[in-house]
Amino acid sequence: MTQVRPMRADARRNYERLLKVAAEAFAEHGEGASLDDIAKRAGVGSGTLYRHFPTRQALLEAAYVDRIEALAARADELGETLPPGEALVEWLNELCAGTIEVRGMKALLGSAVTDGSVAAVTACGTSMKGAATRLVSAAQAAGVLRGDLEPIDVLRLAHGVATASELAKGDGTVIRRYVGLLLEGLEA
Amino acid sequence: MTQVRPMRADARRNYERLLKVAAEAFAEHGEGASLDDIAKRAGVGSGTLYRHFPTRQALLEAAYVDRIEALAARADELGETLPPGEALVEWLNELCAGTIEVRGMKALLGSAVTDGSVAAVTACGTSMKGAATRLVSAAQAAGVLRGDLEPIDVLRLAHGVATASELAKGDGTVIRRYVGLLLEGLEA
DNA sequence: GCACTAAACGGAGACTGTCCCCGCTTAATT
DNA sequence: AATTAAGCGGGGACAGTCTCCGTTTAGTGC
């Protein structure tokens, strides 16, 4: 489904360099980091960057897929080790923290959560939705979460809480507080 | 505190034209609308625009002050005609709807809500915080809202809910739903 | 090894947007 | 009518995005 031919060696090299540099650049300058600058820092021409990643979104996604997959995997891990309610609380906390910590990931997760989003972010969106679905269903089955909630609602609201927490610049404790408040509203 | 001299007639004329055009442009193209284009549409040079409004934020604020003041005023209106709890619900609904409806206002309100924000947005921030404080205090006094909430928390969370609702493109009913969920978490 | 070819490169350049600067214009004042 | 400073406005430097196309090079068959 991906490539018929394997990538040429130089192409693969550049691809990975770009990814590494991009992650640094986004972390440093936020999601608005200059793409030409990223290309330059990776020692390639801008043409090369745009060939590999046609849009900023595409690069953003590629740079953070692993991080997002890790968050999704974490959901399952928590789901196995904690009772459903606590697993959900903890996951939402980590999700929000991650969203804020990695500057630029917010825009990415936002579009991953949006329905009918760009094809580029589908992979991420699917992982997150899958992870959310499992935790949400478990919590609902255990009777600790309202039954009228869809997983997508939970993801959207988490995104909202992350945004809200971000407005309280520098106060790290606020995330847990706001997640806590949100969850009281979502309890069964 | 504002001007020692009154503004020259042509200056005032341009100022108001810019404001009007800017509101249209932001509504049409979102908060990223081209400033030079706004200047052109208003029939002035870009220098004139930048003299009146040194930053995008400044223009954004000026274009929407009246709208924000209206929202703040609405808080008092609701506070007088409805019981505290319902007033708060209704106000948050209108606030979120307004935030989403007027594209570009989100960024503005965001910085108005942020502590230690730019001087430019202080006026808006003050109105909103004042309005929020009155509604929140009343609701707390009536025992329908948790006592450990600051008005700024409520504003931040409202902003978060607006963001969350926005992710559900096109579904207008979702705002009330999400505001409702939030408020269940904030109840005393 | 060598020649061949398609994949990949890269940077010039067109375009758009931001923002400042400074010579010119004009409203207000006497 | 003369004066003057507030205000004007567009030219231009700069930064970013994205494309096009001539050049280079990895991989392959002989």
pLDDT, tens digit (0-9, with 9 covering 90-100), for A30-66: 888 999 999 999 999 999 999 999 999 889 888 888 8
What is the structure's pLDDT at B127?
83
Our measurement of CA B28 to C1' C16, in angstroms, reads 18
Q: How far is B185 from chain A (nearest CA, A)?
A: 4
Q: Which chain A residues are within 8 Å of B156, Cβ to Cβ? A: 164-165, 167-168, 178
Phi and psi at A135, nearest 5°, equal -65, -40
First to last CA, chain B: 42
Contact B71, B136 (CB under 8 A): no
Same domain, A105 and A125: yes
- Domain-located, residue A60: no
What is the structure's pLDDT at B114?
60
A2, pLDDT greater than 60: no
Phi and psi at B159, nearest 5°, equal -60, -40
- Domain-located, residue A113: yes
Contact B70, A127 (CB under 8 A): no
B116: left (phi over 0), alpha (psi -120 to 50) or beta: left
Write out pLDDT tens, residues B53-66.
Answer: 998 888 888 888 88
Q: Tell me the CATH number at B39.
A: 1.10.10.60
Same domain, B43 and B77: no
Q: Tell me which of A122-126, A151-155, B141-145 is least confident.
A: A122-126
Write out pLDDT tens, residues B85-134.
Answer: 999 999 999 999 888 877 656 666 666 666 544 444 556 678 888 999 99
Same domain, B49 and B82: no
**DSSP code for B6:** P
Residue A147 has a CB neighbour count (10 Å cut-off) of 8
Contacts 24+ apart (CB under 8 A), B57-62: B57/B107, B57/B108, B57/B111, B57/B118, B57/B120, B57/B121, B58/B120, B59/B18, B59/B22, B59/B35, B60/B22, B60/B26, B60/B31, B60/B104, B60/B105, B60/B107, B60/B108, B61/B108, B61/B120, B61/B121, B61/B123, B61/B124, B62/B19, B62/B22
What is the structure's pLDDT at A37?
95
Write out pLDDT tens, residues A130-152.
Answer: 999 999 999 999 999 999 999 98
- B161 touches A: beta carbon within 8 Å: yes
Same domain, B74 and B143: yes
What is the structure's pLDDT at B119?
43
Average pLDDT along chain A: 86
Same domain, A111 and A170: yes
Q: What burial letters (b/e) apply to B107-139, b meaning 16+ CB within 10 Å?
A: bbbbbbbbeebeebbeebbebbbebbbbbbebb
Same domain, A97 and A173: yes
Closest alpha carbon to A44 in A56, A36, A34: A36
Same domain, A71 and A123: yes
Note down the domain range covering B170.
Answer: 64-186
Our measurement of CA A64 to C1' C12, in angstroms, reads 32
Q: Tell me which of A52-61, A97-106, B164-173 is least confident.
A: A97-106
B3, pLDDT greater than 90: no
Our measurement of CA A104 to C1' D18, in angstroms, reads 21
- Domain-located, residue A5: yes
Q: C1' nearest to CA of A13: which nucleotide?
A: C8
What is the structure's pLDDT at A186?
81
Confidence of residue A120 (pLDDT cuts 50, 70, 90): very low
Q: Tell me the CATH number at B173.
A: 1.10.357.10
Residue with token string 């009146």: B52
Cβ contacts of B153 within 8 Å, gap of 6 or more: A178
Locate the chain B residue with the closest alpha carbon to A187: B185
What is the structure's pLDDT at B68?
84
What is the structure's pLDDT at B111?
63
- Domain-located, residue A29: yes
Same domain, B25 and B88: no
Average pLDDT along chain B: 85
Of B29, B53, B77, which one is at a domain's C-terminal end? Answer: B53
Of A53, A80, A95, which one is at a domain's C-terminal end? Answer: A53
* Interchain proximity A160–B160, CB inside 8 Å: yes
Hey, is A150 helix, strand or coil? coil
Mean pLDDT of B153-168: 89
- Domain-located, residue B58: no
Same domain, A5 and A49: yes
- Domain-located, residue A58: no
B172, pLDDT greater than 80: no
Confidence of residue A113 (pLDDT cuts 50, 70, 90): low
Same domain, A74 and A136: yes
Same domain, B87 and B153: yes
Q: Within 7 A of a protein CB, which nucleotides of strand D?
A: 6-12, 15-21, 25-27
- Domain-located, residue B15: yes
Q: How far is A137 from chain B (nearest CA, A)?
A: 18
Our measurement of CA A108 to C1' D13, in angstroms, reads 34
Contact B97, B38 (CB under 8 A): no
Write out pLDDT tens, residues B134-155.
Answer: 999 999 999 999 999 999 899 9
Domains contained in chain B, number: 2
Same domain, B174 and B93: yes
- Domain-located, residue A138: yes
Give the C-alpha separation, A69 to A73, whole Å: 6
Q: Within 7 A of a protein CB, which nucleotides of strand C?
A: 7-13, 16-22, 26-28
What is the structure's pLDDT at B133?
93
A83, pLDDT greater than 50: yes
* Interchain proximity B157–A164, CB inside 8 Å: yes
